[in-house]
Structure 1
Amino acid sequence: MLTLRCSENEFLAEDEEPSRFVIGYDGKLLLPHDDCEDIEIGYFSVKFVDVVGAVTEGESVFDVFDCDSTCIQYYEALYNGDDDIKTRVARIAHGDGYLWNPSLLILDRLVVYREYRGRSLGLVALRALIHRFRAGVGLIALKAFPLQYEADRSVKHEGQDETKFGYDQFDVPMSKATSKLRSYYRQVGFLPVPRTQFMVRSPDIPVRKAVSYEIETLP
């Protein structure tokens, strides 16, 4: 059974920074082993942007997104200004131009190590992340960008064995790799936003089939 184990999340009791409305979770993908110890087969990270909370507290929504280099990309691509999600984005996700809840869940990163690919574990993990974290958001989004083309990949994984990621095996043009990735994400309900690298889905769409998972805290 695939397990998603979240790292601990801590925050200041008294925080006046816009970043208090961006809540990040990261963790590991684990599979049981014969000796009863879990094996790490990948990792994930998600970000919840509490736009509704920012508006309630009178905080600039732009400042909230701008405090995080990942989030600001989504603001520029998906929002008209402040808490107003673009009509075309809402139409793609919900079938019309109305979106009552502008809070956003970003599926920031999901990596399955090379030797464990080809078993649909990534799709299982995606469904689990959507199911666990979609409460309280009006839109779920991700960036369909092949990780092997990240310019700073070596920095992100400094001290880790690059061979486990298998990026050296991907010898295809970026356009083809991106197209395959979009087809992959479509399997869990994501649709592309034209002229962007982003894909969106409604949190109200079923995750298609049951997923067995557990969310735990790292020791």
Structure 2
Amino acid sequence: MKSIYQLALGESFHKLHPEMQKKFGLISKQKIMILGQGRMTEIRGTPAFLRPLLMAFVPAHVMFAERGRNIPFTLENYAYEDEQGREKVSWIRRFFFPYAIRGFDAVMHYNSETGKIVDDLGKSGTFQTELDLEVTPEGGLLMQSNAISYKGKYDLSGIHTSVYEHFDEDQEAFRVHVHVEHPWFGTLLMYEGLVHTEFLPMTYSNIPERGILV
């Protein structure tokens, strides 16, 4: 059985760094979860006058207004089958600001018709985008999209997202960089940092509803 990322990348999957292959090769039959812990060296983006508007997205775990440096961070990945038998992988991100804990969550699956990864954003998957995957020369993975839809109906074209990750052998950890950009407002959200990862045993009772922690 191949992971959703191996299906999307095809033979290019084997060009990933071995640790990247291990992480992005996660499938439900392994019955393990991935726990990442680290710090984001910087979280920035969105003009200050617009940040209060982002508070409306906080309950959905899509966006948040807080910004800062050296922010503690956790990431949980679960691979599971949904009620339709589709293989899915959840991305449960938590940012521990001094006075608030914020989430930026997603659930991904492979679309066999387009050959792309579908990224359902937030706790309820209200926002959706398709990701193009590319293996970089150093064995990292770049995932990009150029449009986000709202409830699958309203196309929010122009919003560009990129997620880049590679394995730092010196630190024995993953370096991550996420960038969400709007053509009018510039960077809406950017964060980057170093994440140490563990692979832990799990049962299906460990998986939160929709793969997302409430």
**TM-score > 0.5 by shorter chain:** no
TM-score (norm 2): 0.29
Higher strand share: 2
Higher helix share: 1
TM-score (norm 1): 0.28
Q: Which structure has the larger Rg?
A: 1
